[in-house]
């Protein structure tokens, strides 16, 4: 379907992705010709224009898990919706005052879905009847790394909703979004529900974020996504974050409460053992600490000057001592003092959203703690 079949404005001009030099591309992506893939949650495109209308040309598909997207106009949340398969124009706004500058931010809500090789969202270009203006610079850059909490799982839906579906995942009701607005930050998110720094919630040691972190999107599988550059080594180029905030450990701790995980690749069982106090025993605490230290070193190689902040605690705090010790050991062993550990408020009562995950109120509390830390320690200047 062509945009002309939907609207009557004959003054719309089409700009392919390759001509959008003054727009801001959000997220860890790889532009190929006139295709901008949105691999990660909160990846998208930000546009400032003077037109009365703005449309984005999309291409989307899925087999099992439909992608969702959100829209903000002038920093205000305006829309979220499921994206249907196909290539089509989507109206971001129309009927607004021609000549006035408006800022539109269209972004993917859903995390990278490794369980669905067909799941993708592409931006092909935009239509507008106005001028595209250069966006002002952001005050800082922050990368968030994490699990289902960083995928915004539970931020939409009623408290008793328990289905594991894309509708309940987001980055629009999320501590990263709150921090982004408060600090005028450019934000990227690398996250996957159920994964950890060493193993997933069930003890599967292949489900760890460090194993995919060096790729553009190591969680977008299949020939189609690989053809878009998802499996290529990520090169940050000029994108150097002021802070990298890691929120991992929740699923590693969950694995200690699960039965042994049988790994079909090796034919062995992974057993995460805990002591009488419910925390990891000495051997497995060391395994988690070493995984965390290794990941911090991995991040430091990519971002030599960024502050690395490990946060934890929104869904239980049993692993806090282990992770705090890992940060201290990493600092002592490497001499890298540009790192820290921060305990976040645990989720209680009305703070829960759907799927027994932190809801928006919990994300607000966590965001306030992180904003205070970043400001009080001079990591950001706003």
Condensed to tens digits (0 to 9), the pLDDT of residues 189-210 reads: 999 999 999 999 999 999 999 9
pLDDT band at 5 (very low <50, low <70, confident <90, very high): low
Please tell me the distance from the alpha carbon of residue 4 to that of residue 375, in angstroms, as a whole number. Answer: 48
pLDDT at 93 exceeding the cut of 90: yes
Tokens of 122: 């592409």
Please choose, from the candidates 352, 154, 340, 330, the residue with its C-alpha nearest in 3D space to the C-alpha of residue 246: 340
Q: How does DSSP assign 85-109, residue by residue?
A: SEEEEEEEE-SPPTTS-EEEEEEE-
- Give the percent of the chain with pLDDT over 70: 98
Distance of CA 231 to the CA centre of its chain: 17
Beta strands in 83-220 (DSSP E): 86-93, 102-108, 120-128, 132-133, 140-146, 185-191
Mean pLDDT confidence for 159-169 = 96
Task: Name the one residue in this structure whose structure tokens are 């921060």.
Answer: 342
pLDDT at 2 exceeding the cut of 70: no
Mean pLDDT confidence for 8-15 = 85
pLDDT at 13 exceeding the cut of 80: yes
Bigger pLDDT: 32 or 370? 370
pLDDT at 10 exceeding the cut of 90: no
pLDDT at 257 exceeding the cut of 70: yes
pLDDT at 1 exceeding the cut of 80: no
* Residue 353 C-beta-side C-alpha neighbours within 13 Å: 24
For the domain covering 140-376, report its CATH number. 3.40.50.1110
pLDDT band at 313 (very low <50, low <70, confident <90, very high): very high
Helices (H), the chain: 175-182, 222-227, 250-255, 282-302, 320-334, 360-376
pLDDT band at 382 (very low <50, low <70, confident <90, very high): confident
pLDDT tens, residue by residue, 165-185: 999 999 999 999 999 999 999
For the domain covering 3-133, report its CATH number. 2.60.120.260
Mean pLDDT confidence for 151-170 = 96
At residue 324's C-alpha, the angle toward residues 323 and 328, to 5°, is: 115
The pLDDT, as a whole number, for residue 293 is 98
pLDDT tens, residue by residue, 106-145: 999 999 999 999 999 999 999 999 999 999 999 999 999 9
Please tell me the distance from the alpha carbon of residue 345 to that of residue 185, in angstroms, as a whole number. Answer: 23
pLDDT at 220 exceeding the cut of 90: yes
Would you kindly state where each structural domain of the chain is located, as residue ranges? 3-133, 140-376
Cβ pair 107, 47 in contact under 8 A:
no
- Give the percent of the chain with pLDDT over 90: 93
The pLDDT, as a whole number, for residue 319 is 97
pLDDT band at 237 (very low <50, low <70, confident <90, very high): confident
Mean pLDDT confidence for 233-255 = 95
């Amino acid at each position: 379907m062509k945009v002309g079949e939907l609207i009557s404005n004959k003054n719309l001009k089409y700009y392919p992705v390759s001509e959008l030099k003054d727009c801001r591309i959000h997220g860890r992506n790889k532009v190929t010709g006139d295709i901008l893939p949105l691999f990660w949650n909160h990846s998208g495109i930000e546009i400032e224009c003077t037109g009365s209308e703005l449309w984005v040309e999309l291409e989307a598909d899925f087999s099992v898990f439909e992608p969702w997207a959100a829209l903000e106009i002038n920093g205000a949340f305006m829309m979220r919706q499921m994206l249907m398969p196909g290539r089509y124009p989507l109206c971001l706004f129309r009927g607004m005052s021609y000549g006035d500058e408006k800022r539109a931010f269209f972004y993917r809500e859903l995390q990278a879905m490794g369980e669905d090789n067909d799941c993708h969202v592409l931006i092909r270009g935009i239509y507008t009847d106005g001028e595209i203006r250069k966006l002002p610079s952001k005050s800082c850059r922050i990368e968030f790394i994490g699990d289902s909490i960083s995928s915004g799982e539970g931020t939409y839906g009623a408290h008793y909703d328990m289905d594991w579906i894309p509708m309940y995942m987001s980055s629009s009701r999320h501590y990263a979004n709150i921090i982004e607005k408060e600090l005028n930050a450019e934000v990227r998110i690398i996250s996957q529900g159920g994964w950890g720094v060493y193993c997933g919630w069930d003890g599967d040691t292949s489900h760890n974020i460090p194993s995919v972190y060096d790729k553009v999107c190591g969680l977008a599988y299949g020939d189609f996504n690989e053809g878009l550059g998802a499996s290529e080594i990520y090169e940050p180029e000029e994108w150097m974050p002021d802070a990298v905030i890691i929120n991992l450990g929740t699923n590693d701790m969950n694995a200690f409460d699960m039965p042994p995980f049988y790994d079909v690749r090796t034919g062995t069982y992974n057993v995460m053992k805990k002591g009488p106090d419910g925390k990891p025993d000495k051997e497995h605490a060391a395994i988690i600490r070493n995984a965390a230290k290794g990941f911090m070193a991995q991040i430091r190689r990519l971002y030599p000057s960024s502050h690395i902040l490990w946060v934890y605690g929104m869904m239980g705090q049993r692993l806090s001592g282990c992770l705090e010790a890992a940060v201290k050991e990493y600092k002592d062993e490497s001499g890298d003092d540009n790192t820290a550990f921060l305990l976040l408020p645990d989720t209680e009562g009305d703070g829960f959203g759907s799927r027994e995950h932190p809801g928006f109120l919990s994300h607000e509390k966590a965001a306030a703690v992180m904003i205070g830390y970043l400001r009080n320690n001079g990591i950001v200047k706003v």
